[in-house]
Amino acid sequence: MDKNQKTKLIQLGLFVVTLITTTFAGAEWTIGKFVILGMTWDDFLFGFQFSIPFLFILTVHEFGHYFTARYHKIKVSLPYYIPMWFGFLGMPTIGTMGAFIRIRENIVSRIKYFDVGVSGPIAGFVVAVALLIYGFTNLPETEYIYEVHPEYEVFGENFAERMEGLDTLILKSDLNPDRQAYDMRPDSIYTNTPGSISFGDNILMNLGRKYLAPDDRYIPSSSELMHYPVLLAAYLAFFFTALNLLPIGQLDGGHVLFGLFGAKNHAVISRVLFTAFLFYAGLGWVTSADLINTSLESIANFLISIGVYLFIVYWSAFSVFREKRDRLLFATVILTVQFFVSSIFKVEGYTGWLLFSVLIGRFIGVDHPQVIDNRPLTTGRKILGWVALIIFILCFSPQPLVVEGF
């Protein structure tokens, strides 16, 4: 077996493993059972309703890059899928960290960078929109959610409104002759209680709820979306599309930005947008409210929070500033402005974006590789570039994953 065959066997193996892990993850989200809590074979099979559409979108995205690179005669690998699953530990995941292709030579053309970068997100986006339409036009009836949440049945079709803020033990005997008790705070990944998870909306999900669903009674709330596998796959595809299309550095959106505006403008715009992204992410990390309690423990925690945050921003600024003192000054200014903005206007960002800020600023970089062939884009490509930026806006959710109590 030669090296090429071994590589393809590894790629196929990674795909099969990723299919299995995303199927486990899909079952965990939709059924609400981890393997360690008694997932059955039927539960696992149900998980394919998530893994197949989700991996289909991911595959279309990657092959969009792949075939465009081949079109331009760029040496490129087939996709490598990255499985990631911790259900055996009782931790919810989506079963994968995505996929990537390897570009095996330097791309020397601005147009080629643009074409390869823009093709994947747009290809995946088209499939995700099709799944969104299918998911909202084929919503199951209310009985479906009762199979996952039998405790909801006692409230009838308006269970979402009637359970608003409910966090106590409810006896079914109070509402029904059947004297079975339901704890409205079970330890699961899908409840509306502290530690539970809900998904933040984006423009496309809101449009789907408003214009596609045939009956308002069956529309899932943000905290129930994980029980609808096709819609969950579409939502996650929008999330990753937006993440890839962030117009920063060497992300797909960074390639689009580079193609539209050139190297000099890319360097400026990318830094401005990265700073704005980082600024939003850290809003509310520390505020004046943290100083109300003047005990030694509270002051110590406040100072530790400042130290941790300064370290995060310092690391994130690695590719923005070469000098250490400049990175430290940048982190200090960001923290100071955030502190006053959050304290005065009572606004909060989304700390989950800090992880991506570190990944971009420290590892991916905010700059774009230089090219030899710097010819500007054709008119058609410029239009496609602006379409890609509009897609980013449609897919982006300021708070994509919300954990109650955090």
Model pLDDT for residues 140-168, shown as the tens digit of each residue? 887 787 777 776 666 555 555 544 444 43
Tell me if 140 is assigned to some domain: no
Exposure letters 74-92 (e unless 16+ CB within 10 A, then b): bebeebbbebebebeeeeb
Q: How high is the pLDDT of residue 3?
A: 84
Which segments of the chain have a pLDDT < 70? 1, 151-195, 404-406
* 10 and 95, same domain (yes or no): yes
pLDDT digits (tens, 9 = 90+) for 44-75: 999 999 999 999 999 999 999 999 999 999 99
Check: CB of residue 160 under 8 Å from CB of residue 142.
no
- Domain total in the chain: 3
Q: What is the mean pLDDT of the chain?
A: 88
Cα distance between residue 184 and residue 162, in whole Å: 12
Q: How high is the pLDDT of residue 204?
A: 97
Paired with 195 in beta bridges are none
Tell me if 221 is assigned to some domain: no
* 270 and 353, same domain (yes or no): yes
Tell me if 122 is assigned to some domain: no
Structural domain range at position 156: 150-189
Tell me if 194 is assigned to some domain: no
Secondary-structure percent of the chain, ordered helix, strand, coil, rounded to 5: 65, 5, 30
Q: How high is the pLDDT of residue 250?
A: 94
* 30 and 83, same domain (yes or no): yes
* 74 and 10, same domain (yes or no): yes
* 98 and 16, same domain (yes or no): yes
Cα distance between residue 403 and residue 401, in whole Å: 7
Domain end among 167, 189, 211: 189
* 60 and 157, same domain (yes or no): no
Q: How high is the pLDDT of residue 324?
A: 95
Tell me if 241 is assigned to some domain: no
User: Cα 320 vs. chain centroid, distance in angstroms?
Assistant: 24
Residue 252: HSE in the Cβ half-sphere, 13 Å Cα cutoff: 27
Check: CB of residue 208 under 8 Å from CB of residue 136.
yes
Judge residue 343's burial from the number of C-beta atoms within 10 Å of its C-beta, 0-12 exposed, 13-18 middle, 19 or more buried.
middle
User: Cα 368 vs. chain centroid, distance in angstroms?
Assistant: 23
* 97 and 164, same domain (yes or no): no
Check: CB of residue 389 under 8 Å from CB of residue 253.
yes
* 96 and 166, same domain (yes or no): no
pLDDT digits (tens, 9 = 90+) for 339-388: 999 999 999 999 999 999 999 999 999 999 999 999 999 999 999 999 99
Cα distance between residue 205 and residue 202, in whole Å: 5
Check: CB of residue 154 under 8 Å from CB of residue 169.
no
Q: How high is the pLDDT of residue 19?
A: 98
Tell me if 376 is assigned to some domain: no
* 181 and 84, same domain (yes or no): no
Q: How high is the pLDDT of residue 217?
A: 76
| List of E strands, 296-381 | none
Tell me if 120 is assigned to some domain: no
* 269 and 335, same domain (yes or no): yes
Tell me if 83 is assigned to some domain: yes
